[in-house]
Amino acid sequence: MKHSVLVAVTQGNTEPWLTIWKEGQEKTWIQDNVDGSSIIHVQSKEAPYLIKQLDNIHEENRYRKKIGKWQGRLDKIFTKFISKKIPKYSFNNKNRILTANSWSTYYLQGRRNIALYDWFLKYTNKDFLFVTNTSSYINQVQLLKVVQKFNPSDTIYAGYLLPEDGGEQFVSGAGKLLSRKSVELIKNNWYKHTHETLEDVCLGLFMKSMEIAAIPLSRVSLPTPEAAKTLPDSILETEFHFRCKSNQLPRRDVEIMRILHERMKITNQIGQIG
C-alpha cells in the first residue's frame, strides 16, 4: 500500500512571512494536487506588540557570544514554567489553516508544533508528517517517493542535518519528516520536551533522549533568483525540498519560488511528452 504524507507549513504572523506565504507558496507548489499528499498551514495567535519586541531581542541575543551564553542559562530556568499542556487549537477547513492558542514567537514554536502533532493524530490518517516553513518549496511527487522508503510504524525522524560540519546533529526545522509512530512518541512524552533554545534543536535533544537517531535527507539551497535559474535539470527532477530563503534585502523568496515553479512546469511537460 502506498504511504501518504501531510505537509504542514508553519509560519509567523508577521512580515515577510505573510507575503511569502500568500504571493510565493500559495501561487506555486501549494496549487499542485498530488494524490497521497495534502497540505495545511499552521500558525499561532499574534503576540502583543511588547511580547513580539522582547522575542525579537531575545532571538538577536541568542547568537551573541557572551549575552547568548547567559541568556541560554536563564532560558533553562524559564522553560520550566512553560505549560506542558497541549494548547487548544482550531482548524479552518476552507482555508486549511490550523491555529494554535499560543503566541506566535520564536520561544514558543514548540507549543505550536505540539498542537500540530495532536491534530495530526486525532484528525488525519496520514502515514507521515512533513513539517516545513514559509521559505520552502516542496515537490510533493518527489516527497512521496522519499516516504515510500520508510515504514510509518518505525520511529522516523529525518531531514537536512545541522550543524553541517557534524557534531551533535539535529534535523533542521525547515523540513522535518516524522512517521506517525514518531509523532505519537513526541505527544506521549511531551512533558519531557523543553523550550530552552530553538525548537528544532530542542526536538533534536528530545529525540536523542528517546534514543532516536536523525536520518539525513538532502535539501537544495536557492538563496538568489540566479541560483534558481541555473539549477541543473537533473537536480530539479529528483530533489523534493528547495530552500528558497533569500540572502538579499529586501527578501526575494517569492521571486525565487516563482522561477522555480515555472521551471518545474516545463520539466513536467517535457517528462509527459517523453
Residue 169 reports pLDDT greater than 70: yes
d(CA 228, CA 209): 39
Where do the H-state alpha helices sit in the chain?
A: 17-19, 49-62, 65-78, 109-123, 140-147, 180-188, 199-209, 225-229, 233-238, 253-273
pLDDT tens-digit map of 129-138? 999 999 999 9
Residue 254 reports pLDDT greater than 80: yes
| Mean per-residue pLDDT of the chain | 92
pLDDT tier at 269, thresholds 50, 70, 90: low
Classify burial at 180, counting beta carbons within 10 Å of its beta carbon; exposed 0-12, middle 13-18, buried 19 or more: buried
User: The whole model's pTM is what?
Assistant: 0.93
Domain 5-218, CATH number (from 1.10.760, 1.10.3470, 3.90.550, 3.30.70) = 3.90.550
Residue 204 reports pLDDT greater than 60: yes
pLDDT tens-digit map of 110-136? 899 999 999 999 999 999 999 999 999
Average pLDDT over residues 211-231: 97
The pLDDT of residue 87 is: 93
What lies within 8 Å, CB to CB, of 269 at 6+ separation is none
d(CA 258, CA 220): 16
The pLDDT of residue 273 is: 43
d(CA 148, CA 11): 27
Domain boundaries, the chain: 5-218
Least confident of 76-80, 226-230, 259-263: 76-80
d(CA 76, CA 94): 40
Which residue's entry shows cell 531575545?
A: 58
pLDDT tier at 142, thresholds 50, 70, 90: very high
Percent of the chain clearing pLDDT 70 (strictly above):
97
pLDDT tens-digit map of 50-72? 988 988 888 888 888 888 888 88
The pLDDT of residue 274 is: 47
Average pLDDT over residues 257-268: 90
Cis ω on the peptide bond leading into residue 48 (within 30° of 0)? no
The pLDDT of residue 19 is: 94
Residue 263 reports pLDDT greater than 60: yes
pLDDT tens-digit map of 1-42? 599 999 999 988 888 999 999 999 999 999 999 999 999 999
